[in-house]
C-alpha cells in the first residue's frame, strides 16, 4: 500500500517551522506570562539520603514580601506511580514533595511561591530543612549487597526488578564453541540535555472549571491523563499545551511530579503558577540516562560463527521509577535488543535495575540501545581480535541476510540492508584503514578506524507495550485532516513537534494524498484541546506511524474530494486524479476542476454535492505499530587520531550509512542523523554525570558536565539506503534515535584499533585515552 | 538590561555606572567588601548567577578610558579594559611577545574574547586562565589603584590561590605592565583542555633569550600544576646554556613533572596532569627553540 506517485514525500523541502524557530518568533514555556502569576522555586535536598527532621520557614515572616510555602505534608498522598505489572518488581512511589525521607540530591522537599522569580529564589534560601542523614547506596555493587538496608520500606533488597529472556539451546552452543569470549562493558551515567530546560505553567479558571497546564513536554495527552487521575478531575476539564519545545530527546518524554504539583498549586492558590527549571536543576534532578554494566559471554565457532550469547545486565536506576517507562524499561530493552543484526541461535539475558541514591534515570535518545550496541559491537571487535579475523568479515559472516527474519527471542525483522550497508561502509573506509595501519609506526600519533553495525526496533506500538506491560499501555498515533472552504488544509496531530520537522514532513505526506501544496497545509500539534488523543512523540515512531496516520486520514479526505469531483465532472470517482490543486480526469487533463471549488462545495455550496453526501471535509485516522515494529538499520564509523603523548583525540571522520525505509524528507533525515550523532559523540568522549561516594553530584553545570561543542565535531557524512518496509503505509521506518545509538561503539572501536587495546568503558576523554596509551609511551 | 527568561538568577544587587576612574575608586572605597567592579562580565556574571558571588554593589567600569596597548619606555602597558581579542593583529604583541600571542588563541571563544578584559581575567584568577600565566611568565607588574593611590604588585606575588589575589577591598587593576624583552628573545605557549575553548587542564609557557646557538636565559610558567600559575626556576636554570638545536626538552619536562604535586579531580587525575605537563613542557621548549633558530 504505497502512496501513489509520491511527489512531495521524498522532496528536499526546507522546514517550515524554521522560519519561526530561527527568527525569534517561537514561544517557549518561559514566554508564557499570565496576569497575577506566582513563581515557584523548589527547595531541594542537598543530601542524598536522609530522614527529614523538620522544615522551618519561619524566617520568611520577615522577608518583606508575600510568600507561600508548601511541603510534603500539604501534598501528602499525591505521588508518581510508575510500576510495571511484574511479580518480581518491587513497588515504590515518588511523592510530589518528599515525605519523611529524601533519596537523592535534588529531590524536591518544599516549594516557595512568590510574586516574581527572583523573590521566589531568594525566599527559598530562607527555608531551613533539618536532616538526619542515612548511609547512601551509591554504586551497583552496594545496591546488590543484600546486607545494606533497602531504600524503601517493605523492600527486600535494592534490586528493583530482575528478569530473564532466553531462546535456543545455550548449553549446546557453549559445548560446540571453539572460543568463549567474556567481557564486561560499562557505559557511564549521563544527563540528557535539551537546549531548553523544562518548565510548567498552570492556570485554573473556575468560570468554566478548566485547568490549563502548559508544559515543555513531548507527551501532552499523557500529562493530562496523569493529572486527571492524580487530582481526581475530569479529563475534559484539563487542557495541556506543549508550546514550542526546545528539544526533548526523551527527557521530556515522561510525566513528572512537578507537572502534577504546579497544576495542584494553581488550583490551591487560585492563581496562575509558573516554574521554570534552571540548568543546575535540570542537570541534577530532571532525569539521567545510561549507567549500565553488561557482562557478555560469547560462544564462537572456530571459523567465527556466533553460536550463542549470554548476558548479565545491570542498570543503576537511581532512586525512583519514572512514569510511564519505569525502572524495568531500560534493562529490559538491553535484554531484548542484544541479539542485534546477527543470526544468533542461542541467547540468554539476565537483566536488572538497581536502586541507588541518585537521580532517577529514564528514556534518552536511543534508550538503552547506545549502551547495548556499545557492548555488542565492542564484543564483536574483541571476538575478531581473538580469532584474528577482519571485523567486517566477522560481521558479514554472522549478519542476517534473509527477511523476514525471526530472531532467537521470536521477534521478526522486516526488510533491511544489513549486509549491503556493511559492504558500503567497508568501501568508504578503505583509505582510512591504510592510513591507520601506516600510523602504527608513529611514536606520537595513532590513527584508528572503528565501526558499529546495528538495528533499531522503531514504529513499535500497542502489541509491544502490552507484551512489556508498561504503563504507557498504548501506542497508536492519531491524526485529523480537515480542509477549509478555500481548499487549504489543517492537520491536527497527536504528536508533539520538538525538532523532528513534523510541521513539514506531515504536510508533505498529506499534500501527496490531497493534491495540494505542502505550504498550504497547517500542522497543529501539542495541544490536547485541538489534537486527537495520542501518547506523544518518542520512540522513533512519528515518521512511520504519525506519517501513516496522516496518510490514511488524508486519503479518506481525498476519496471524498474525488467523489465530489466525479459528480461535478460527470465521470467515475476512480478516474479522478488529485494534483497541483486540481482534480482532473485521468487521461484527459483538460477536463478538471480546482480542489478549492470542491472544498467550497463540500462546506458552503453544499447544494452542489452528490445526492445524500454529508457536508464537511474532515477525516480522522489512527495507526498503531506492527507486532514487532519495523527495524531500521545503520552502520556508523569513526576515524580517530590520537596523540598518545597527551591523550588528545581528534575525530578525522564520522560516517553513517543508514536505512530508514522510505525517506519523507532527506534534509530532515540528515538533520536527525547528524543531531543524534553529535549526542553520541558526547556519550563517547565527553558527557559524564559524576557522583562522589556520598552521592553528591560533582558535575552540576556546563563547566563540569561537558557537552560536545562545534569545534569537536567533524563533518558528519550521511549515506542512505532506502529499503521500504511493507509494515507501514508509506514504507517509512523510524529514524529519530538512530543517530545517537552508534557513535559510542564506533568511536570506542576506533580507539581500540588505534591503540591496540581493549576498550571497556566510556567516556573516552583525554584522561582515559592517556591511560589507554600508556603501553605505547612506555615502548618508546 | 532586559533579561528574557529568568532561569538563572543572581541574588539582588545594586548597579552603578562609573563615569571616571576617580568615580569608580570612590564607589569601590565606599562599598569595600560588598562592592565589585564589573568589566566584561564573562566570569562575574556566571559566578553571580550561581550565587557563588553575591556582591551588594556592582561598579560598571566599562565606560572608563583604561583600554589600550602602548609602549611606555621599556615597558608594554596594557590597560585593564583591553579585551582579549585586541591582541590579535597587534604588532607590539606579535613582535615582542610570541608566547603571549600563542596564549590568547586558547582563551574561550570569539564572544568571550570580545568581552573579556585583562583586568577581569587577572582579578578573577582562575587557576588555569591564560592571562595570569602570561603575566607571571613575563614578570609583569599589576598596576593597582584605590582612593589611597597607586601600587604595583609583581605578578609573581599577585596570585595567592585559586580565585584569590593580592587585591584589597576598594582596589582596582588599572593596567598590566610587561618589561619589553631584548630583540633576541622568543617564546611559546602551549596548552591542552578537554575541548577547544575550555579552561586548560594544563598549560606551559616559555620565553628564551639566546645568542643564536644556545639559550642564554629562560623563563617558564605552568598552570595546572598548582592552584595558580607557577614559575619553574629549576627548569629556567636547566635551560640556560642548552643548545637551541637539542635543548634536552624531554628531560626538562620530566624534571619539572617530578617536582610538582598537581590536584586530582573528576576531570583529570594527578598522574595525568603530571604526564601532560611533562609533555607540554617538552613541546613548549622545542617550539621556542625552533622559533629562536628561525629568528637568529
Ligand atoms: C564559556 C567561557 C569560556 C571561557 N574560557 C576561558 C578561557 O579558556 N581562558 C580564560 O582565561 N578565560 C576564559 N573565560 C573567562 C573570560 O576570559 C573572562 O572574560 C575573564 O576571565 C574575566 O574578564 P571580564 O572582563 O569578563 O571580567 P568580569 O567577569 O567582569 O570580572 C571578573 C572578576 O574580576 C573583577 N574585575 C573586573 N575588572 C577588574 C578590575 N579592573 N580590577 C579589579 N577587579 C576587576 C570583577 O569584580 C570580578 O570579580 C571564559 C568565559 C566563559 C563564559
Residue B61 has pLDDT above 90, yes or no: yes
How far apart, in whole angstroms, are the C-alpha atoms of residue A496 and residue A526? 5
Measured between beta carbons, the chain B residues lying within 8 angstroms of A64 are none
Phi, psi of B266 (to 5 degrees): -75, -15
How far apart, in whole angstroms, are the C-alpha atoms of residue A310 and residue A184? 12
Quote the ligand 1 centre to B36 CA distance (angstroms).
Answer: 13
How far apart, in whole angstroms, are the C-alpha atoms of residue A688 and residue A680? 12
Pairing mode of beta strands B35-38, B69-72 = unpaired
Residue B4 has pLDDT above 90, yes or no: no
All CATH 3.30.465.10 domain ranges of chain B, comma separated, are: 69-179
DSSP A197: -
Contact A476, A462 (CB under 8 A): yes
Contact B109, B152 (CB under 8 A): no
CA distance B179 to chain A (A): 33
The predicted pLDDT at position B295 comes to 54
Architecture (CATH level 2) of domain B69-179:
2-Layer Sandwich (3.30)
Pocket of ligand 1 (CB under 6 A): B 36-44, 46, 61, 80, 106-108, 112, 115-117, 119-121, 123-124, 129-131, 172-173, 197, 199
The predicted pLDDT at position B267 comes to 86
Q: Kindly indicate whether the ipTM for this predicted assembly is greater than 0.90, answering yes or no.
A: yes
The predicted pLDDT at position B266 comes to 87
Going by pLDDT thresholds of 50, 70 and 90, the confidence category of residue B241 is very high
Contact B77, B177 (CB under 8 A): yes
Contact A694, A357 (CB under 8 A): no
Measured between beta carbons, the chain A residues lying within 8 angstroms of B5 are 28, 30-31, 276
Please name the residues in contact with A9: beta carbons below 8 A apart, sequence gap of 6 or more. Answer: A3, A508, A509, A512, A662, A664, A665, A730
Q: At what angle do helices A369-387 and A326-337 cross, to 10 degrees?
A: 30
Q: Domain map of chain A by residue range?
A: 18-26+476-623, 34-134+198-276, 367-459+629-779
Contact A113, A120 (CB under 8 A): yes
Going by pLDDT thresholds of 50, 70 and 90, the confidence category of residue B1 is very low
Contact A450, A747 (CB under 8 A): yes
Contact A748, A450 (CB under 8 A): yes
The CATH T-level fold of domain A18-26+476-623 is Aldehyde Oxidoreductase; domain 4 (3.30.365)
The top-level CATH class assigned to A367-459+629-779 is alpha beta
Per DSSP, the three-state class of A318 is strand
Identical fold for domains A18-26+476-623 and A34-134+198-276, yes or no, is no
DSSP A244: S
DSSP B181: P
Contact A615, A602 (CB under 8 A): yes
How far apart, in whole angstroms, are the C-alpha atoms of residue B264 and residue A208? 61
The predicted pLDDT at position B80 comes to 98
The predicted pLDDT at position B8 comes to 65
User: What sign has the CA pseudo-torsion A762, A767, A770, A774?
Assistant: negative
Phi, psi of A220 (to 5 degrees): -60, -40
Q: C-alpha dihedral over A424, A427, A432, A437, to 10 degrees?
A: 120
CA-nearest residue, atom 35 of ligand 1? B120
Residue of A682, A766, A773 for testing the chain B interface, max B β-carbons within 10 Å: A766
Supply the Cα-derived Rg of chain B in whole angstroms.
20
Whether residue A701 and residue B197 make contact (CB cut-off 8 A), yes or no, is no
Residue B162 has pLDDT above 80, yes or no: yes
Contact A664, A777 (CB under 8 A): no
User: What sign has the CA pseudo-torsion B224, B225, B227, B230?
Assistant: negative
Helical spans, DSSP H, in B74-227: 91-96, 98-104, 110-115, 118-124, 130-137, 155-158
In this prediction, residues B232-258 reach a mean pLDDT of 97
Q: Which residues pair with A223 in a beta bridge?
A: none
Per DSSP, the three-state class of A114 is strand
The CATH T-level fold of domain B186-295 is Enolase-like; domain 1 (3.30.390)
Query: What is the DSSP annotation of A379-409?
Result: HHHHHHHHHT--HHHHHHHHB--SSSEE-TT
Phi, psi of B283 (to 5 degrees): -70, -40
Question: Sheet containing B230-231: which strands, arranged edge to edge?
Answer: B185-192, B202-210, B215-223, B230-231
Cell matching residue A726 = 511493507
Question: Sheet containing A588-594: which strands, arranged edge to edge?
Answer: A576-579, A582-585, A588-594
**Alpha-carbon distances of A71 from A47, A77, A271, A501, rounded to whole Å:** 17, 12, 18, 41
Q: Which residues pair with B203 in a beta bridge?
A: B191, B223
Placement of cell 472544498 in the chain: A599
CA-nearest residue, atom 34 of ligand 1? B120
Placement of cell 523510524 in the chain: A734
Question: Closest by alpha carbon to A282, among A182, A407, A195?
Answer: A195
Going by pLDDT thresholds of 50, 70 and 90, the confidence category of residue B2 is very low
Per DSSP, the three-state class of B151 is strand
DSSP A285: I
Among the partner residues A197, A698, A765, nearest to B194 by beta-carbon distance? A765
Cell matching residue B205 = 609557557
How far apart, in whole angstroms, are the C-alpha atoms of residue A472 and residue A464? 11
How far apart, in whole angstroms, are the C-alpha atoms of residue B132 and residue B24? 23
Pairing mode of beta strands A648-659, A716-720 = parallel
Q: What is the 3-state secondary structure (H, E, C) of A431-460?
A: HHHHHHHHHHHCCCEEEEEEEEEEEEEECC
Per DSSP, the three-state class of A712 is helix
For residue range B28-37, what is the model confidence (pLDDT) as tens digits?
999 999 999 9
How far apart, in whole angstroms, are the C-alpha atoms of residue A227 and residue A237? 11
Contact of A45 with chain B, judged by CB distance below 8 Å, is answered with: no
How far apart, in whole angstroms, are the C-alpha atoms of residue B10 and residue B50? 7
Pairing mode of beta strands B57-60, B35-38 = parallel
Contact A716, A656 (CB under 8 A): yes
Length of chain A: 780
Residue of B3, B275, B283 for testing the chain A interface, max A β-carbons within 10 Å: B275
Whether residue B266 and residue A118 make contact (CB cut-off 8 A), yes or no, is no
In this prediction, residues B92-108 reach a mean pLDDT of 97
Contact A489, A482 (CB under 8 A): yes
How far apart, in whole angstroms, are the C-alpha atoms of residue A378 and residue A366? 17
Contact of A608 with chain B, judged by CB distance below 8 Å, is answered with: no
Supply the Cα-derived Rg of chain A in whole angstroms.
27
Is the pTM here over 0.80, yes or no?
Answer: yes
The predicted pLDDT at position A542 comes to 95
Among the partner residues B50, B195, B280, nearest to A701 by beta-carbon distance? B50
Per DSSP, the three-state class of B113 is helix
Length of chain B: 296
How far apart, in whole angstroms, are the C-alpha atoms of residue B1 and residue B4? 10
Contact of A698 with chain B, judged by CB distance below 8 Å, is answered with: yes
Contact of A30 with chain B, judged by CB distance below 8 Å, is answered with: yes
How far apart, in whole angstroms, are the C-alpha atoms of residue A448 and residue A337? 27
Per CATH, the homologous superfamily of domain A34-134+198-276 is Aldehyde oxidase/xanthine dehydrogenase, a/b hammerhead (3.90.1170.50)
Q: Which regions in chain A score pLDDT beneath 50?
A: 1-4
All CATH 3.30.390.50 domain ranges of chain B, comma separated, are: 186-295
Whether residue B194 and residue A701 make contact (CB cut-off 8 A), yes or no, is no
How far apart, in whole angstroms, are the C-alpha atoms of residue A406 and residue A410? 6
Q: C-alpha dihedral over A248, A254, A260, A261, to 10 degrees?
A: -70
Chain pair A-B, CB pairs under 8 angstroms: 70
Q: What is the mean pLDDT of chain B?
A: 95
The predicted pLDDT at position A780 comes to 85
Q: Which residues pair with A412 in a beta bridge?
A: A406
The predicted pLDDT at position A5 comes to 54
Contact A546, A491 (CB under 8 A): no
Contact A457, A411 (CB under 8 A): yes
Please name the residues in contact with A17: beta carbons below 8 A apart, sequence gap of 6 or more. Answer: A497, A501, A503, A504
Amino acid at each position: 500500500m504505497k502512496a501513489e506517485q509520491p511527489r512531495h514525500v521524498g522532496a528536499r523541502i526546507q522546514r517550515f517551522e524554521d522560519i519561526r524557530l530561527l527568527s525569534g518568533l517561537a514561544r517557549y514555556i518561559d514566554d508564557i506570562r499570565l496576569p497575577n502569576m506566582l513563581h515557584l522555586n523548589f527547595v531541594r535536598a542537598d543530601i542524598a539520603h536522609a530522614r527529614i527532621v523538620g522544615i522551618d520557614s519561619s524566617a520568611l515572616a520577615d522577608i518583606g514580601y508575600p510568600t507561600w510555602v508548601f511541603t510534603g505534608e500539604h501534598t501528602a498522598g499525591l505521588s508518581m506511580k510508575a510500576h510495571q505489572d511484574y511479580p518480581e518488581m518491587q513497588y515504590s512511589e515518588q511523592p510530589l514533595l518528599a515525605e519523611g525521607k529524601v533519596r537523592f540530591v535534588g529531590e524536591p522537599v518544599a516549594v516557595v511561591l512568590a510574586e516574581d522569580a527572583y523573590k521566589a529564589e531568594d525566599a527559598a534560601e530562607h527555608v531551613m530543612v533539618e536532616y538526619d542523614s542515612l548511609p547512601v547506596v551509591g554504586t551497583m555493587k552496594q545496591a546488590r549487597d543484600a546486607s545494606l538496608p533497602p531504600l524503601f520500606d517493605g523492600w527486600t533488597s535494592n534490586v528493583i526488578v530482575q528478569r530473564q529472556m532466553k531462546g535456543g539451546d545455550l548449553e549446546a552452543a557453549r559445548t560446540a564453541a571453539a572460543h568463549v569470549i567474556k567481557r564486561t562493558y560499562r557505559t557511564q551515567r549521563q544527563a540528557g540535555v535539551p537546549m531548553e530546560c523544562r518548565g510548567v505553567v498552570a492556570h485554573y479558571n473556575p468560570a468554566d472549571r478548566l485547568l490549563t497546564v502548559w508544559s515543555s513536554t513531548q507527551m501532552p495527552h499523557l500529562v493530562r491523563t496523569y493529572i486527571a487521575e492524580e487530582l481526581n478531575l475530569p479529563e475534559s476539564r484539563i487542557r495541556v499545551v506543549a508550546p514550542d519545545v526546545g528539544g526533548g530527546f526523551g527527557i521530556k518524554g515522561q510525566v513528572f511530579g512537578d507537572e502534577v504539583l504546579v497544576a495542584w498549586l494553581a488550583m490551591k492558590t487560585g492563581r496562575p503558577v509558573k516554574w521554570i527549571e534552571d540548568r543546575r536543576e535540570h542537570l541534577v534532578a530532571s532525569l539521567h540516562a545510561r549507567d549500565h554494566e553488561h557482562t557478555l559471554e560469547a560462544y564462537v565457532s572456530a571459523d567465527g560463527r556466533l553460536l550463542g550469547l549470554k548476558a548479565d545486565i545491570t542498570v543503576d536506576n537511581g532512586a525512583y521509577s519514572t512514569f510511564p517507562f519505569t525502572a524495568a524499561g531500560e534493562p529490559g530493552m538491553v535484554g531484548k535488543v542484544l541479539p542485534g543484526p546477527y543470526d544468533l541461535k542461542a541467547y540468554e539475558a539476565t537483566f536488572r535495575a538497581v536502586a541507588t541514591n541518585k537521580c532517577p534515570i529514564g528514556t534518552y535518545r536511543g534508550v538503552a540501545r547506545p549502551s547495548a550496541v556499545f557492548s555488542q559491537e565492542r564484543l564483536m571487535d574483541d571476538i575478531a581480535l581473538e580469532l584474528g579475523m577482519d571485523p567486517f568479515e566477522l560481521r558479514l559472516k554472522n549478519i542476517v541476510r534473509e527477511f523476514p527474519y525471526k530472531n532467537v527471542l521470536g521477534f521478526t525483522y522486516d526488510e533491511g540492508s544489513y549486509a549491503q550497508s556493511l559492504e558500503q561502509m567497508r568501501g568508504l573506509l578503505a583509505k582510512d584503514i591504510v592510513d591507520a595501519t601506516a600510523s602504527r609506526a608513529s611514536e606520537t600519533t595513532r590513527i584508528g578506524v572503528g565501526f558499529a553495525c546495528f538495528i533499531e526496533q522503531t514504529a513499535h506500538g500497542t502489541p509491544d507495550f502490552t507484551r512489556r506491560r508498561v504503563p504507557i499501555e498504548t501506542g497508536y498515533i492519531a491524526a485529523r485532516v480537515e480542509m477549509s472552504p478555500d481548499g487549504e488544509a489543517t492537520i491536527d496531530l497527536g504528536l508533539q513537534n520538538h525538532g523532528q520537522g513534523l510541521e513539514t514532513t506531515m504536510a508533505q505526506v498529506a499534500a501527496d494524498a490531497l493534491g495540494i501544496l505542502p505550504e498550504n497545509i497547517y500542522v497543529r500539534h501539542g495541544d490536547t484541546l485541538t489534537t486527537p488523543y495520542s501518547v506523544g512523540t518518542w520512540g522513533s515512531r512519528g515518521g512511520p506511524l504519525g506519517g501513516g496516520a496522516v496518510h490514511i486520514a488524508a486519503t479518506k479526505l481525498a476519496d471524498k474530494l474525488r467523489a465530489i469531483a466525479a459528480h461535478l465532472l460527470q465521470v467515475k470517482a476512480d478516474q479522478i486524479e488529485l494534483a497541483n490543486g486540481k482534480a482532473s480526469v485521468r487521461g484527459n487533463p483538460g477536463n478538471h476542476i480546482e480542489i478549492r471549488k470542491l472544498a467550497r462545495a463540500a462546506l458552503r455550496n453544499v447544494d452542489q454535492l452528490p445526492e445524500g453526501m454529508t457536508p464537511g471535509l474532515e477525516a480522522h485516522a489512527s495507526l498503531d505499530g506492527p507486532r514487532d515494529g519495523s527495524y531500521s538499520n545503520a552502520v556508523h564509523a569513526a576515524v580517530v587520531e590520537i596523540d598518545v603523548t597527551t591523550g588528545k583525540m581528534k575525530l578525522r571522520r564520522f560516517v553513517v550509512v543508514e536505512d530508514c525505509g522510505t525517506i519523507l524528507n532527506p534534509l530532515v533525515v540528515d538533520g536527525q542523523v547528524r543531531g543524534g550523532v553529535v549526542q553520541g559523540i558526547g556519550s563517547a568522549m565527553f558527557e559524564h554525570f559524576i557522583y562522589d561516594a556520598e552521592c553528591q553530584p560533582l558535575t552540576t553545570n556546563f563547566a563540569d558536565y561537558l557537552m560536545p561543542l562545534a569545534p569537536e565535531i567533524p563533518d558528519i557524512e550521511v549515506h542512505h539506503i532506502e529499503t521500504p518496509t511493507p509494515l507501514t503505509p508509506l514504507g517509512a521506518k523510524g529514524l529519530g534515535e538512530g543517530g545517537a545509538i552508534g557513535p559510542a561503539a564506533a568511536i570506542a572501536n576506533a580507539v581500540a584499533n588505534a591503540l591496540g587495546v581493549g576498550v571497556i568503558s566510556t567516556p573516552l576523554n583525554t584522561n582515559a585515552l592517556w591511560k589507554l596509551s600508556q603501553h605505547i609511551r612506555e615502548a618508546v | 538590561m532586559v533579561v528574557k527568561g529568568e532561569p538563572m538568577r543572581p541574588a539582588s544587587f545594586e548597579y552603578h555606572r562609573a563615569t571616571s576612574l576617580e568615580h569608580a575608586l570612590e564607589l569601590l572605597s565606599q562599598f569595600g567588601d560588598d562592592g565589585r567592579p564589573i568589566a566584561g562580565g564573562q566570569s562575574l556574571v556566571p559566578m553571580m548567577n550561581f550565587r557563588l558571588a553575591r556582591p551588594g554593589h556592582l561598579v560598571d567600569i566599562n565606560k572608563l578610558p583604561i583600554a589600550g596597548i602602548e609602549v611606555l619606555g621599556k615597558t608594554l602597558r596594557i590597560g585593564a579594559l583591553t579585551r582579549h581579542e585586541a591582541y590579535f593583529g597587534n604588532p607590539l604583541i606579535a613582535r615582542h611577545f610570541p608566547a603571549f600571542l600563542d596564549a590568547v588563541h586558547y582563551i574561550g571563544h570569539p564572544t568571550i574574547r570580545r568581552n573579556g578584559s585583562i583586568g577581569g581575567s587577572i582579578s578573577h584568577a582562575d587557576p588555569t586562565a591564560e592571562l595570569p600565566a602570561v603575566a607571571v611568565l613575563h614578570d609583569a607588574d599589576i598596576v593597582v589603584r584605590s582612593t589611597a593611590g597607586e601600587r604595583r604588585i609583581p605578578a609573581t606575588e599577585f596570585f595567592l590561590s585559586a580565585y584569590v589575589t593580592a587585591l584589597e577591598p576598594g582596589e582596582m587593576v588599572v593596567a598590566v605592565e610587561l618589561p619589553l624583552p631584548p630583540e633576541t628573545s622568543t617564546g611559546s605557549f602551549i596548552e591542552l583542555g578537554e575541548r577547544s575553548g575550555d579552561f586548560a587542564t594544563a598549560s606551559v609557557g616559555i620565553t628564551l633569550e639566546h645568542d643564536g646557538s644556545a639559550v642564554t636565559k629562560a623563563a617558564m610558567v605552568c598552570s595546572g600544576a598548582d592552584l595558580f600559575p607557577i614559575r619553574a626556576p629549576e627548569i629556567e636554570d636547566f635551560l640556560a646554556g642548552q643548545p637551541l638545536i637539542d635543548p634536552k626538552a624531554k628531560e626538562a619536562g620530566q624534571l619539572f613533572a617530578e617536582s610538582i604535586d598537581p590536584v586530582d579531580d573528576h576531570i583529570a587525575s594527578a598522574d595525568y596532569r603530571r604526564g601532560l605537563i611533562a609533555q607540554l613542557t617538552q613541546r613548549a621548549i622545542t617550539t621556542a627553540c625552533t622559533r629562536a633558530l628561525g629568528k637568529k
